[in-house]
Amino acid sequence: MQKHVAWAGVIGFFALLAAADAQTLSPSAGTQFDGTYAFVSATKLNETYTTTRTNRVGQCGDYTGRPLTIVNGQARYPGLGRLTAAGFEGAVGPQGRLAMRLADTPAPRGRGASPGVEIIVNGQIDANGTVHARQTGYACSYDLVWQKEAK
């Protein structure tokens, strides 16, 4: 049990660092990265995860991507459906650095209670309008790619 608590502390520390990074990235002054980016692909970084409450092994599913939208340096893409209705929000820096997060509010206490979900997305937009990002959360992680759509 102590081993799980120690690992939870380490993971929590790194999640807080990533969240702080996502929140401190200032949006770009220009609009060179503004637009809609079509989802291209997702690569699973892990096939399974272990739940902390029940110590069960879960399977990481295939990622169903959705478009990424950037307006005035503010980045957004829809939530994951099964996890939350909220979407990812963040910013794009002047050099194309992308930082977003999804923080779901905890469910009420009692049956079916959930501690909430936090998922971080960090990436880079290149000169060709391709976004390469890594999404990390409490269970499954993915490398994601989007491509900017022509106007």
The type of residue at 149 is E
Choose between 66 and 79: higher pLDDT.
Answer: 66
The label of the residue with tokens 């992308």 reads 98
Q: Return the structure tokens found at 53.
A: 């409450």
| Res 138: pLDDT | 75
What's the rounded Cα separation, in Å, for the pair 75 and 135?
14
What's the rounded Cα separation, in Å, for the pair 138 and 124?
22
Mean per-residue pLDDT over the chain, rounded: 76
pLDDT bucket at 10, cuts 50 / 70 / 90 = very low
Calculate what percentage of the chain has a pLDDT beyond 90.
38
Q: Return the structure tokens found at 78.
A: 């829809």
pLDDT bucket at 116, cuts 50 / 70 / 90 = low
What's the rounded Cα separation, in Å, for the pair 124 and 105?
28
